[in-house]
């Protein structure tokens, strides 16, 4: 009898048995790939996209791909419903499909080329309703425009904002606060927020009002109060890891990039491998030139960018 009681005690104390949750992974690896759409209406992608997707599937094998938007080339009123549907079919063929077959979820925020016009939003909703990412959703009531989910068995909590344009409503700001205060968020060792437009200017070509988020200071304060490790954005298509006040920023770059504010001749295509360490509340990154495959040294980037709502100051890793 004593041996049976001891065996039962060991079963109850052993992680993963009798329904107990397995331990959280030490690292969660995600690839950040954004702004890879072609010209308006395009149903093909630049050659670098195929190379990057191949590297994700065959070499990096991350836990997920995160994208800060501009997945297709919409935002043109003259495009027909059929044309937008054809672009989503091309995305499914060249990006989502290969990743899904490899068991790699593609999680995203929608960009201005994906979800600015009413027709574009309708078609984006139709596509993503039929192809939801294989992640653990925390809130999907307004999916695919805004939602939250976890990775790594709940150790990473991600909020996807509807930030395809410069205005983020008061109602959505309240929702963001509530998401960051939720039990799932508080249990996570790392919290990230995805949004398409940036809080501060990064690229010279888009360093103006309307191309960054309005009310950026308040949004940053909400994220700081919610202990967000980093805000990951797209739109400016210029890779830069920086610090804005008390918040880390990952400007995720793109396929076909833009020059930095005040630094001409710096445009490049990029993809980033982000290694999240939930127990430490820390993340490290490696970024690669999507054309050459070579790593982009962080030390080679400008020490600071003095764009609208800036400055952003370069960092070598993300820490709270």
The answer as to whether 22 is a domain residue is no
Within the chain, where are the H helices? 2-13, 47-55, 81-91, 97-101, 112-115, 118-130, 170-180, 183-187, 216-225
Q: Give the domain extent around 300.
A: 27-319
The answer as to whether 3 is a domain residue is no
Rg value, the chain, Cα: 20
The answer as to whether 304 is a domain residue is yes
Sheet of 106-108, strands arranged across: 106-108, 64-67, 28-32, 270-277, 282-289, 318-319
The answer as to whether 5 is a domain residue is no
The answer as to whether 306 is a domain residue is yes
- Tens-digit pLDDT string for the chain (320 aa): 444 444 434 333 444 444 555 566 799 999 999 999 999 999 999 999 999 999 999 999 999 999 999 999 999 999 999 999 999 999 999 999 999 999 999 999 999 999 999 999 999 999 999 999 999 999 999 999 999 999 999 999 999 999 999 999 999 999 999 999 999 999 999 999 999 999 999 999 999 999 999 999 999 999 999 999 999 999 999 999 999 999 999 999 999 999 999 999 999 999 999 999 999 999 999 999 999 999 999 999 999 999 999 999 999 999 98
Torsion of CA 211, 217, 223, 224, to 10 degrees: 140
Whether omega before 136 lies within 30 degrees of 0, making that bond cis, reads no
Half-sphere exposure of 60 (CA within 13 A, CB side): 27
The answer as to whether 10 is a domain residue is no
The answer as to whether 6 is a domain residue is no
Q: Specify the number of domains making up the chain.
A: 1
Distance between CA atoms of 238 and 197, rounded to whole angstroms? 12
The answer as to whether 2 is a domain residue is no
Report the CATH number at residue 33: 3.60.21.10
Q: Would you state the structure tokens that stand for residue 126, as one six-digit string?
A: 């139709």
Distance between CA atoms of 137 and 148, rounded to whole angstroms? 6
């Amino acid at each position: 009898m004593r041996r049976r009681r001891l065996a039962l005690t060991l079963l109850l104390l052993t992680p993963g048995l009798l329904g107990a949750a397995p331990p959280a992974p030490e690292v969660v690896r995600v690839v950040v790939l954004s702004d890879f759409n072609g010209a308006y209406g395009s149903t093909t992608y630049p050659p670098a996209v195929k190379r990057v997707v191949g590297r994700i599937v065959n070499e990096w094998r991350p836990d997920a791909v995160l994208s800060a938007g501009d997945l297709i080339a919409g935002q043109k009123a003259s495009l027909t419903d059929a044309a937008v549907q054809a672009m989503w079919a091309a995305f499914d063929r060249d990006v989502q499909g290969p990743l899904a077959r490899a068991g790699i979820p593609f999680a995203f925020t929608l960009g201005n080329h994906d979800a600015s016009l009413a027709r574009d939003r309708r078609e984006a909703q139709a596509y993503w309703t039929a192809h939801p990412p294989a992640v653990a959703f925390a809130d999907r009531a307004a999916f695919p425009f805004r939602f939250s989910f976890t990775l790594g068995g709940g150790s990473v909590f991600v909020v996807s904002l509807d930030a395809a344009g410069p205005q983020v409503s008061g109602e959505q700001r309240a929702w963001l606060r509530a998401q960051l205060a939720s039990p799932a968020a508080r249990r996570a060792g790392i919290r990230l927020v995805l949004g398409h437009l940036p809080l501060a200017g990064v690229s010279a070509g888009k360093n103006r009002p309307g191309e960054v988020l309005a009310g950026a200071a308040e949004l940053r304060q909400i994220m700081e109060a919610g202990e967000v490790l980093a805000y990951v954005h797209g739109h400016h298509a210029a890779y830069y890891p920086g610090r804005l006040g008390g918040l880390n920023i990952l400007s995720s770059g793109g396929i076909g990039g833009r020059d930095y504010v005040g630094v001409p001749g710096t445009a490049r295509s990029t993809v980033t491998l982000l290694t999240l360490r939930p127990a430490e509340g820390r993340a490290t990154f490696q970024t690669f030139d999507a054309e050459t495959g070579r790593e982009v040294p962080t030390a080679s980037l400008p020490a600071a960018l003095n764009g609208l709502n800036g400055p952003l100051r370069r960092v070598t890793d993300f820490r709270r």
